[in-house]
A and B are shown apart, each in its own frame.
Chain A
Amino acid sequence: MCIKNSNMSETFVPSDYFPVVIFFIFALLIGFGTLLLGVVLRPKRPYTQKLYPYESGNPPVGEPRYKFSVKFYIIAMLFVVFDVEAVFLYPWAVAYNKLGIFGFAEMMLFVFILLIGYIYVWKKGAFDWE
């Protein structure tokens, strides 16, 4: 988003952002509005079974807060990296015809650099569980 200086008036009003404000207000209204509507309309008859945390129909076996293995952390981190790659590929694919050979080269470079990271991570044994 680029605002030119030349046509700016004495006081700078960020009027371009006004739709964002409206969007924000509507998001709040719809979110809280539906919740409030549910509280007002639904019948309230709580009993023990109903207040249990829902775990696919099974009775809960214990506290969900226990220590995870640190290996999950590495998996999550790697997931984020390659997830970002995938997300980045979508808009590139959509705009592929307009970007031309230069866009193709840029994206191949990006994928190549990530590939180096992938080889590095693999050889270092980050994918081995033990």
Chain B
Amino acid sequence: MNTANYLVDITMIMPELTLICVALILLLLDLVVKNKEVLAAVGIAGTLVALYGTYKLFVFHAPQSVFADMFVLDGYSNFFKLIFYLNIILTILISLKYMTIEKASFGEYYSLLIFATTGMMIMASAADLIVLYLGLELMALSTYILAGLMRKQLRSNEAALKYFFLGAFSSAILLYGISMTYGLTGTTNLREIAAALQTLNIMESPAVFLGLIFLIVAFGFKVALAPFHMWAPDVYEGAPTSITAFMSVGPKAAGFAVMGRVLFEAFGGMQMQWNSILIPLAVITMAVGSIIALAQTNIKRMLAYSSIAHAGYMLLGIIAGTPEGLASTANYLMIYMFMNIGAFAIVIMLRREGFQGENLDDYMGLAKSHPLASALMLIFMFSLTGIPPTAGFIGKFYVFMEVIRSGYTYLAIIAVIFSVISAFFYLRVVMYMYMKDPKEDVTLTTSSTLSIALAITAIMVLILGIFPSFLLNLVRSSIPG
């Protein structure tokens, strides 16, 4: 055992270690500090330190894998880590006042958010199925608790239990997939799996295909692909809204990160096989998400189905099977993070003491009393639909372009049809705000942190929509062809 070697390895996971330390410190601080805003500030500060650490590693070290090739640092993992950092910072910003209104302002909240983010970062860097599973469980266990944080509310309890049972189920399926792959190739390392598949010449083997199916199903649970999406609407509705925003971006991005890495690195030679599963999944996901969302009257449920539909669009980038396709998926996730958290921030603004503000009817005539909030919601809804001056258009355009370049023109046509269908329920919110008369006076709950989060998301949605080249260059250099 070489101690000096280990010290080098530990430097490479400094951001993750920083986050774990911050989470532990927060746990202890919660016992002595009564003001939860201090904890939130410490959480954001710790995340920024970790972000700086990742940036330093990115600048000073070439892409490399450490801990016996189990943990990899490359542009791909760094790009996803950037998504996770921004996701947690925006989540903390939108949740400060909201959690006091829900009477669920616990110090553990910030600690668990950071633990979940650490899990996602481990997933993004995992080059070994065991490390992948470790990160996935750290993320999943933390999010189960976060979903049930409103202990006195029945639907929050239901959300946590449902998420836990189905999550545990999907973990079991993932372990089946891992053990089958290990049994057939004799290794859990992604690169060595690819090499073993070549040398043993077992790519056509139905047993390998079965293992691959198990893995895809488990990842499908995490990103809420269609036949495995049943948990999403109930969990998204029951969880605290800030956690819904966090969950709809973080675990989804982490799921796509591992799906991309496992499929491209370990099963890169089996693209025909995995596409024969992913293509029907993508079509069903887009159909279920877009069509069932039409019937929703609760905005959190509507955004849950919208998030399912978006998972279908993101999947197209992986189906394209090229590094550019993977880059388009990563790009979509970054854009989706800004527009989705922005939309949830508006939903949070409508929540006040004794008023849920989750029904579509509550948005009636909002533009007359609160023109600025309505304008922001309009931007986010346009972006989720994919209307040009906003970032959502760039995300969809890039994904569709890559899937057409790989020769799946029919998939792009199907995706466009479903985005037209989805325009109905996004624009219905806009119609309610601008073209209906208000039923009753709606007062908004504002706070300075929420305003900062809204400003960041709205500005990013517009900037990335009008000047997309910065993000596109970043994602293309992170995931080289």
List residues of chain A with CB under 8 Å of any chain B CB.
3-5, 8, 10, 12, 14, 99-102, 113, 116-117, 119-120, 123-124
Say yes or no: A5 contacts B1, CB within 8 Å: no
Please, what's the 1-or-0 string for B199-210, where 1 marks a CB less than 8 Å from any CB in chain A? 111000000000
CB-CB nearest in chain B for A120: B27
Chain B 1-36 interface residues, beta-carbon cutoff 8 Å to A: 1, 3, 6, 24, 27-28, 30-31
Contact, CB under 8 Å: A5 / B6: no
With A12-B200, A116-B24 known as contacts, the answer to whether A5 contacts B3 (CB < 8 A) is no
Question: Cβ of B227 < 8 Å from any Cβ of A?
Answer: no
Contact B3 A10 (CB under 8 A): no
- Per the bound structure, the CA–CA distance linking A123 and B30 in Å amounts to 10
CA of A124 to CA of B195, assembled, Å: 51
Find out whether the CB atom of B28 lies under 8 angstroms from the CB atom of A102. no
Closest to B24 in A: A116
Q: Is the interface of A mostly helix, strand, loop or mixed?
A: helix
Q: Say whether B186 contacts A5, CB under 8 Å.
A: yes
CB pair A116 B28 closer than 8 Å: yes
Instruction: Tell whether A5 pairs with B192 under 8 Å between CB atoms, given A102-B1, A102-B6.
Output: yes
Q: Which B residues from 163 to 201 make CB contacts under 8 A with A?
A: 183-187, 192, 195-196, 199-201
B393 to chain A, nearest CB (A): 46
Residues of B within 8 A of A99 (CB): 1
| Chain B residue at smallest Cβ distance from A100 | B1
Give the bracket for the number of chain B residues in contact with chain A. Answer: 10 to 19
A/B pair count, beta carbons within 8 Å: 40
A5/B196 in contact, CB under 8 A = yes
CB distance from A18 to the nearest CB of B (A): 14
New A-B contacts (18) at CB < 8 Å, excluding given A12-B184, A123-B31: A5-B185, A5-B186, A5-B192, A8-B196, A8-B200, A10-B200, A10-B201, A12-B186, A14-B183, A99-B1, A100-B3, A101-B3, A102-B1, A102-B3, A116-B27, A119-B31, A120-B28, A120-B31
Q: Which residue of B lies closest to A4 (CB)?
A: B186
Is there an interface contact between B27 and A3, defined as CB atoms closer than 8 Å? Answer: no
Instruction: Judge whether B31 and A5 touch: CB under 8 Å.
Output: no
> Which B residues touch A8, using CB under 8 A?
186, 196, 199-200
Inter-chain CA distance A100–B6, complex, in Å, is 14
**Shortest CB distance B150–A (Å):** 18
Do B199 and A5 have beta carbons less than 8 Å apart? yes
Contact check, B186 vs A3: say whether CB atoms are below 8 A apart. yes
Question: CB-CB < 8 A to A12: which residues of B?
Answer: 184, 186, 200
Most buried by B among A99, A101, A102, A117: A102
Report B-chain residues with C-beta under 8 Å of the C-beta of A14: 183
Closest residue on chain A to residue B196 by CB atoms: A5
16 inter-chain pairs at a CB distance below 8 angstroms, sorted by A residue, are A3-B186, A5-B186, A5-B187, A5-B195, A8-B199, A100-B3, A101-B3, A102-B1, A102-B3, A113-B24, A116-B24, A116-B27, A120-B30, A120-B31, A123-B31, A124-B31
